[in-house]
Structure 1
Amino acid sequence: EGRRQKVEDEKAEGRRQKVEDEKAEGRRQKVEDEKAEGRRQKAEDENPKSKIQSLKSVTLTTLRHPKEEHSDTFHVIRALGQLWLEGVSVDWDGFYKDERRSRVPLPTYPFERQRYWIDPDESLLVGLAAQGVSAVSGQQAEVKIQPDSADWLYTPNWHRVSPQSLPAQVDRQIWLIATNSTDNSDLGMQLGQQLQGLGHEVVTLVPGDQPFDQVEYRTFAVNPEMPDGYRELFDDLELRELLPNRMLYLWTPPQPSPSKSKGADPLVSPLIKGGLRGVDWVGFHGLRSLPQALTPFLKQQPIQITVITQNAHDVTGSELLNPSQASLLGLCQVIPQEYPTVGCNCIDVDSDTLSSLTLQTLAQELTQPPVDALVAYRGRHRWRHGYSAIPVDDQSKPSIALRHQGHYLIVGQMEQGLGAVIAPFLLEPLEAKLSIIQAGTISPPTEGGPRGVGIEADITDLAQMEAAIAQVEAKHGEIHGVFYSTPMSNEQSMSLLQQRDTAPWEYSLKTKIHGLDVLTKVLADRRPDFCLLQSSLSSVVGGLGLGTYSAANHVIDAIAHTQSATQSFPWISVNLDGFHQMDADNQGGRLDQQLAPFTLTAAEVWQSIQRVLALGHTAQVVVSKGDLPARLQRWIRVTPEGLVTTDTAPPGTLKKQNQHQRPQLSTAYVEPRTEMEGAIAKIWQELLGIEQVGVEDSFFELGGHSLLAIQAIARLREQFAVELPMQSLLFEAPTITGIAQLVDKQVAEMEGVSSEEEAGEDAEEMAALLAEIKALSPDEVAAELGEE
């Protein structure tokens, strides 16, 4: 191993030296070219005849050849146009002097019979079909709106299926395994040994204190909280020719152990008992930072990331659940949506029931392209995750009925969540006694009157929550039902993964996870009819910019499953789409137009909540106006997009269909005028599949949508090294001119900071020089000037 390490280090050093030599040679060549150009320009200035001789000679005929089939007029006009292109000044007024113009009636609509759908690549038809894309038209499967609200409810399920069989020939792959330790008992190390036995290259990555370090042969350490270490890792692996195309991610919080105390329920997770505040989220942050570091290397090849979680999901009903690990599934859903050349799937295992045979089966599955976004192994059995529609008959006889004049408690965000929607229905038809606990002022009408009480309290503080609930019980008596209201997606919870912003996760922890953690404790000794938790459809279909938001809602869903398995009353998580009244607070635009058909009115939300309660002991229910299987096909993508394999395409170019003509737009075509506009136009042409893109053309009129906008912003950030917010393309500047101005502004600001620093240094040098001159005598000054 020592000799192999030495050879790899020598190869890496040789490649580094070669790169430096090539850079130095390029600089020397550039200097020589500049000198030659200077000499040529000087010669032309001194001898004008040489400049005249250097001009290109152009000869054109104004008479057509007899065999040419076009008219004489066309031939003359074409020759004139070519002369104009060569720089000849044309008297256009004289050319059109005798032309007679007349009014020509035109149709009100140009029937051009042009198709603008991009034809699919034949080699991708199978993959497109798996993603819900029509093989005929290349369009994604249409999501139909279900008119009957009884058809909006779905529940998650698990089906036992046969393990995937190993094909006869498996291509060699380079695996990067991020695992918790290098101990042989570690699950990642065991899977690595299995993969090596199948003929694959394996590189091990463990958490460390430094940004990047090499621990031993093909074993490295990266600090998950210092994401720049990832970039150093991939730079090093690229030099060693070990850049991975597969990754196994096992950086997860430690699996809790069952309590040994007398009478303890073995299904109650210590994480719930001890609180989620103490959970180590390092594994979550490590996965969240990974795609951004991979971006420069995705040009060379795509990568498939497989995340291994342990007991994050309720599969058989006998697991010791670990809700914090469910957060990783949210990232698995969103990463491929924001990074098309990254695929992501998740496998959940129960480490207590893993056998050597199961490890072999799991390793064999890892070597094949994944088919399912989420599977689980329990013992030797493989389970596939899915969703099924709830039959109407199951909703007819309510298992939980809301009580007339009952006492109901809303905890959490009122104005931004479910509470503001359901409060009027609880007060009016049911004449319920309503109590509200939230941080901040509680708006009328829900706080006033004899049947309403509002208390301001920090819902993440156990002592304040205990006191608040005691107060509402003293006023209205026993609590009959609890609604946990969380904020819908907003600017505070949304962020692209590439921005590496931790604020949205901290916001979601505070408003969703920590408050729910306290709620599980204050309700432990109480017996309401139910506790309904507001979750989001983002934990089912993901969403652009919703990586951390989806992850937090996955934790809510997992806690509902955990509490339902251990408590005497139902805990129900409801995955809701947006509400119509929330749209007014969001920025208008095409995204709202796309989502508008799926949003729910207040009456539809209330009707859905009643249907959910009628189901009774169902830990999680999805409410989707649109056909859920079609939405999953449209949004959930498991494998990465392929790359172009032709010799003419630049390395790393995504598979693209033939480019089409520029459509008829409301703006005239204006070609790029600067190098930057040209670079931006090239990016748009590659993404949109259009031959010509004008600098005043709207990104959306050209056929762009939110997913392409994500890719465009990522390409622009990478090429120009600037931070462009997503809203700059979606709302502020959807044209090449607008984007170029934003980039120029950021570049100027960065150069301005640099210029100010240089000016400060120059000022210090000038002051020192003046001080030195001031100290000289007149004779010394004269002597210095004489030398000059």
Structure 2
Amino acid sequence: MIDVTKSDHYQRLLNDLKRDGCAIDCIVHAFNLDGSSEESWSYDPAAMDKSLYSVLYLVQALGDRMPGHPITLNLLARHVALVLDGDKVCPERAVLTGISRVIPHEFANVTCRVLDVGDQATRPGRVGSWEEDIARDVVSESMDAQVAWRGSQRWIRIFEQVTPGNGTAPSVLRERGVYFVTGGLGGIGMAIAEHLAQAVQARLVLVSRRVMPPRANWASIIDAATDNELCTLIRRIERMETLGAEVLLACADIADQDQVREATLAAVGRFGAIHGVIHAAGVAGDSMITTKTRSSVAAVLRPKVDGTVELARAMQVFEPEFFVLCSSMSAVNGGVGQYDYAAANAFQDAFAVRMDGVGRTHYVSIGWAAWKEVGMAANMRLPAYLLAEKEQQLKSAIGTDEGVRALMAILADPLPHWIVSPRDLAGTLEAARPNSGLTGAVSRPLTPTNVQPRQELTTTYIEPDNQIEEVLVGVWQELLSIDRVGVADNFFELGGDSILIIRLHTMMRNQLPELMREVPLKLLFEHPTVAGIGAVLAERYEALHYAGEVKKMRETTLIMEVGEI
């Protein structure tokens, strides 16, 4: 018996299994099969204990107690997805779809799947039992990341490319409409507000946690020019007003019920109504699963989960025409360090599906890929060794004008969940599938047809000078298809990314199994050069060698003592 809210219970469980010599190959996590989703749903934070936090503690324990051992983790739950008419989605459980896409990115030995068991599976009169269906699915070698069972039918999740609004739908924006924008002083929120100002001379409520100085001081602030970021914000707001918009600034924590109520009442008191809501507030996740804590996860969830719930509750009385949730593609393609962020966005996607059609408000969640000029991806501060990867990703990101046009088209369409990607989504998701061919020879062989010369880098080429570095250079060259790699070359500057680094970790484990045993993926991010990670492995080699010599000395001493007797 374990308490799902206690992280040490999972550690003790795995310790006991390891002590008894039990090797785990398959785990069925079934804490979310209980109960049913009522017709009228209300957010229950405690439900996250059985989904988000329970899986976090389990995976952390697996990383500590059974690193490297191949494991299939099956997350069973009810009410994860809307598949058939009558299905009810529970957003607190839908977070499983987001985290299931992140876990294999950070633990190359773990395959993670979500199995959604609908109420239809347990209805009287069906042939066979749902338990048998699930059991067969669990032990199968299926690579389907998300499965839904409805009766005896097995559904899988796919995405279809469509044109929102069929390309011809009229705008849903009102001339001089009142639009409430959270994250209103942030990159994407401000870009959307500027479009609303120009297109319909909107009356805008820009909500942010940032405290802006009184308007009476703006001219002197611009004249002083000591804070470039603040001066830019002021100029952009003033430009919107010159276009005919009215702007009300509201400082509020969107997850605080009282502050949200105060902001909405101020908006209605000033403008008389709220015609649309754009929730663009968010905080990015930036740490590996092994280092996350309940409080750090809760901080990422706060604006997107608690903020979404509080904002929707406050807006019920005003019945805006639309309620847009700015979600992220991380909910469907995961990524290293995105456990909490992917969960928060998966919650928003499910929230829109659950709430759309309940009242007069059209709820829609948009899973954005990275925006090129604004937003979290563009403004995220990263360590030097990740800058090359960021620059590479932003080359194919969404332009601001493209993003705004996509939003306007989506608003004219009745679907509640969209993904906006500048690249082929199927190909992007397949490339992001971390356990796709990660065992054995996972990389491209070096042949004259695909090998590339080493490009000019910020570092000088340096040859390896020991056996460990020679092995590592060979692995890097094979993975990246580069004719030569220097020991000081940064993996990300060479063209590597957060997907390829997972493969690199697996290949290194195959080539150096003893040295790489229990070496976590995060060390490759911290030491992204052959020389850096090679030094770490050299220290491990010395420690292992010393331990071996000590063992031999003890055995020799024992033999000598026995001989003397």
Could you tell me which amino acid in structure 1 is paired with residue 409 of structure 2? Answer: R
Equivalent position of 2:361 in the other structure:
569
Shift of 1:402: 0.6
Unaligned runs of 5+ in 1: 1-205, 210-221, 259-266, 645-653, 747-788
Correspondences of 1:379-778 after superposition (within 5 Å): 379-391=151-163, 394-398=166-170, 401-411=172-182, 413-416=183-186, 418-442=188-212, 443-445=233-235, 451-487=246-282, 489=284, 493-582=285-374, 583-587=378-382, 589-615=387-413, 617-637=414-434, 641-642=438-439, 665=454, 667-672=460-465, 678-679=467-468, 682-683=471-472, 685-686=474-475, 689=478, 695-700=487-492, 704-710=496-502, 727-729=525-527, 734-739=528-533
| Pair 1:225–1:421, CA change in 2 (3 A) | farther
Q: 2:408 and 2:531 mapped to 1: Cα distance?
A: 51
Could you tell me which amino acid in structure 1 is paired with residue 19 of structure 2? Answer: D
Q: 1:295 and 1:683 mapped to 2: Cα distance?
A: 24
Shift of 1:236: 2.7
Q: 2:516 and 2:184 mapped to 1: Cα distance?
A: 40
Could you tell me which amino acid in structure 1 is paired with residue 428 of structure 2? Answer: R
Shift of 1:409: 0.8
Could you tell me which amino acid in structure 2 is paired with residue 426 of structure 1? Answer: L
Equivalent position of 1:243 in the other structure:
23
Of 592-601 and 523-532, the range deviating more from structure 2: 592-601
| Pair 1:256–1:735, CA change in 2 (3 A) | same
Shift of 1:435: 0.9
Check conservation: 1:298, 1:341, Cα contact below 8 A: no
Q: 2:40 and 2:165 mapped to 1: Cα distance?
A: 33
Q: 2:50 and 2:390 mapped to 1: Cα distance?
A: 34
Q: Deviations over 1:167-225 (max 9, x none)?
A: xxxxxxxxxxxxxxxxxxxxxxxxxxxxxxxxxxxxxxx5238xxxxxxxxxxxx9445
> In structure 2, the residue corresponding to 1:311 is in which secondary structure?
coil
Q: 1:581 and 1:656 mapped to 2: Cα distance?
A: 33
Shift of 1:681: 5.4
| Pair 1:447–1:441, CA change in 2 (3 A) | farther
Shift of 1:317: 3.3
Q: 1:639 and 1:599 mapped to 2: Cα distance?
A: 24
Check conservation: 1:465, 1:522, Cα contact below 8 A: yes
Q: 1:607 and 1:386 mapped to 2: Cα distance?
A: 25
> In structure 2, the residue corresponding to 1:621 is in which secondary structure?
strand
Q: Deviations over 1:613-635 (max 9, x none)?
A: 111x2110111110111112211
> In structure 2, the residue corresponding to 1:390 is in which secondary structure?
coil
Please point out which of 78, 91, 99 is paired with 1:323. 91
Q: 2:324 and 2:282 mapped to 1: Cα distance?
A: 15
Could you tell me which amino acid in structure 2 is paired with residue 621 of structure 1? Answer: W
Check conservation: 2:321, 2:360, Cα contact below 8 A: no
Shift of 1:739: 4.4
Check conservation: 1:247, 1:304, Cα contact below 8 A: yes
Equivalent position of 1:23 in the other structure:
none
Equivalent position of 1:232 in the other structure:
15
The CA RMSD measured in Å over matched residues stands at 3.6
Check conservation: 1:234, 1:294, Cα contact below 8 A: no
Check conservation: 1:505, 1:548, Cα contact below 8 A: yes
Q: 2:470 and 2:57 mapped to 1: Cα distance?
A: 29
Shift of 1:357: 2.5
Q: 2:48 and 2:254 mapped to 1: Cα distance?
A: 21
Q: 1:345 and 1:720 mapped to 2: Cα distance?
A: 24
| Pair 1:292–1:585, CA change in 2 (3 A) | closer
1:255 aligns with 2:31: no
Equivalent position of 1:125 in the other structure:
none
Could you tell me which amino acid in structure 2 is paired with residue 485 of structure 1? Answer: A
Check conservation: 2:301, 2:340, Cα contact below 8 A: no
Q: 1:718 and 1:403 mapped to 2: Cα distance?
A: 60
Could you tell me which amino acid in structure 1 is paired with residue 133 of structure 2? Answer: T
Equivalent position of 1:170 in the other structure:
none
Q: 1:720 and 1:540 mapped to 2: Cα distance?
A: 28
> In structure 2, the residue corresponding to 1:593 is in which secondary structure?
helix
Q: Deviations over 1:657-711 (max 9, x none)?
A: 87889986565553335xxxx5465456446548997533443576644334346
Check conservation: 1:504, 1:549, Cα contact below 8 A: no
Correspondences of 1:128-207 after superposition (within 5 Å): 206-207=1-2
Could you tell me which amino acid in structure 2 is paired with residue 369 of structure 1? Answer: E
Check conservation: 1:446, 1:452, Cα contact below 8 A: no
Q: 1:668 and 1:439 mapped to 2: Cα distance?
A: 47
Check conservation: 2:79, 2:116, Cα contact below 8 A: yes
| Pair 1:626–1:228, CA change in 2 (3 A) | same
Q: 1:607 and 1:657 mapped to 2: Cα distance?
A: 39
| Pair 1:393–1:433, CA change in 2 (3 A) | closer
Q: 2:67 and 2:115 mapped to 1: Cα distance?
A: 27
Q: 2:188 and 2:8 mapped to 1: Cα distance?
A: 34
Could you tell me which amino acid in structure 2 is paired with residue 517 of structure 1? Answer: V
Q: 2:260 and 2:493 mapped to 1: Cα distance?
A: 52
Of 298-307 and 308-317, the range deviating more from structure 2: 298-307
Q: 2:405 and 2:133 mapped to 1: Cα distance?
A: 46
Please point out which of 61, 74, 78 is paired with 1:306. 74
Task: Look at both structures and tell me which one has the larger radius of gyration over its CA atoms.
Answer: 1
| Pair 1:439–1:664, CA change in 2 (3 A) | closer
Shift of 1:723: 9.7
| Pair 1:461–1:696, CA change in 2 (3 A) | closer
Check conservation: 2:352, 2:365, Cα contact below 8 A: yes
Equivalent position of 1:357 in the other structure:
129
Q: 2:476 and 2:67 mapped to 1: Cα distance?
A: 14
Correspondences of 1:71-150 after superposition (within 5 Å): none
| Pair 1:664–1:318, CA change in 2 (3 A) | closer
Unaligned runs of 5+ in 2: 213-232, 510-514, 541-565
Check conservation: 1:342, 1:640, Cα contact below 8 A: no
Could you tell me which amino acid in structure 2 is paired with residue 403 of structure 1? Answer: R
Could you tell me which amino acid in structure 1 is paired with residue 197 of structure 2? Answer: L
Shift of 1:581: 2.1
Q: 2:253 and 2:494 mapped to 1: Cα distance?
A: 48
Shift of 1:741: 6.6
Could you tell me which amino acid in structure 1 is paired with residue 368 of structure 2? Answer: L
Q: 1:586 and 1:369 mapped to 2: Cα distance?
A: 40
Q: 2:379 and 2:93 mapped to 1: Cα distance?
A: 34
> In structure 2, the residue corresponding to 1:428 is in which secondary structure?
helix
Could you tell me which amino acid in structure 2 is paired with residue 428 of structure 1? Answer: Q
Could you tell me which amino acid in structure 1 is paired with residue 172 of structure 2? Answer: A
Q: Deviations over 1:581-630 (max 9, x none)?
A: 23254447321233124312221111011110111x21101111101111
Q: 1:236 and 1:745 mapped to 2: Cα distance?
A: 28
| Pair 1:735–1:566, CA change in 2 (3 A) | same
Shift of 1:461: 1.9
Equivalent position of 1:336 in the other structure:
104
Q: Deviations over 1:249-269 (max 9, x none)?
A: 1233853553xxxxxxxx222
Could you tell me which amino acid in structure 2 is paired with residue 374 of structure 1? Answer: Q
| Pair 1:510–1:254, CA change in 2 (3 A) | farther
Q: Deviations over 1:491-511 (max 9, x none)?
A: xx1222233444542222212
| Pair 1:683–1:245, CA change in 2 (3 A) | farther
Alignment length (residue pairs): 491
Q: 1:602 and 1:655 mapped to 2: Cα distance?
A: 37
Equivalent position of 1:287 in the other structure:
55
